[in-house]
Amino acid sequence: MPELSTSLFPPIQPLRHGMLAVDELHTIYWEEVGNPDGIPVIFLHGGPGAGLSPQHRRFFDPQHYRVILFDQRGAGKSTPLGEVRNNTTQLLIADIERLRDMFGIEQWLVFGGSWGSTLALAYGQAHPERCLGFVLRGIFLCTQLEVDWFLDGAQWFHPELYEEFVAPIPAEERMDLLQAYVKRIGSDDPEVFWPAARAWSRFEGRRVFLMPQPEEPPSDTLDLGVGRLETHYMANLGFFEDNQLLRDMDRIAHLPATIVQGRYDVICPPYVAWRLHRSWPGSVLNLIPDAGHAAMETGISRALVNATEQFRQNRRFG
């Protein structure tokens, strides 16, 4: 197990990687990392639309885990970038099952943060027999309350960022900021969609860490993927029925889960993680006292590594 001061495992390259056509429109990028005979785990990235990072491979001991990672439809290296057609939670769940079948995996640990936690819960409830357990971070259930908080609640903690975010939107459209951005980011005109996508991505990205971070240069892949897919999924409330993820918790309540949550997460507030924990008797909730939303904040990354190590130890001696 790594020293707590280092937290993440060392950088690692994939054993193999490739592209998988999942329908006539979408092709998804995938990679396999670690020990082919290790404990299988599926990694689900956030956003929607944020895509993978090499850092995501480092939450798992490569000697003991077989890690499958992929860019969800419209994200990262998957094509077409930012495509919202044929892009729903139910289709993402089908993609996960297609990958599981392709790799010949019977059951796996499900690991996801932020939107990845949403997708992890939805996948688990659709296919509980395929899940060994869950490691989840920054819980998001994609309810109207959470979407409203993400947009308008921002002004309570980051009024200057909120003012910047609403500035390009005419006053008559500001009562529904989400639809205003859906319209602009979904435009076919690059002079319309690029400024809107960058504004959306910047609005989120500057609130992710508890402490201010150096400004990242714009990324076409990240900005368009996050802008188009987050607005698409939020406008459709994740393609869920009302309160669906909490309503159907009985389907996975028997499985182990560790929930890692930043105490000062202003993207996905702790109240949501608390509600999930209270609905999941066997879950462990780890509130990190000096963290916001980002997986790479020291306390959160350490807790995630500890969770995967604890799961591995329990599998060995259980």
Q: Which residues are catalytic?
A: 114, 265, 293
Q: What is the CA radius of gyration of the chain?
A: 19
**Residues 86, 59: Cα–Cα separation, whole Å:** 31
- Give whole-number Cα distances, 111 to 59, 206, 261, in Å: 10, 24, 14
Phi, psi angles (nearest 5°) of residue 131:
-110, 135
* Gap between the terminal Cα atoms of the chain: 18
Q: How many CA atoms within 13 Å lie on the side-chain side of 197?
A: 27
Determine the 3-state secondary structure of 54 from DSSP.
helix
Strand positions, DSSP E, the chain: 16-21, 27-34, 39-44, 65-70, 108-113, 131-137, 257-262, 283-288
CA 6 to chain centre: 23
Integer Cα distance of 222 and 55 in angstroms:
15
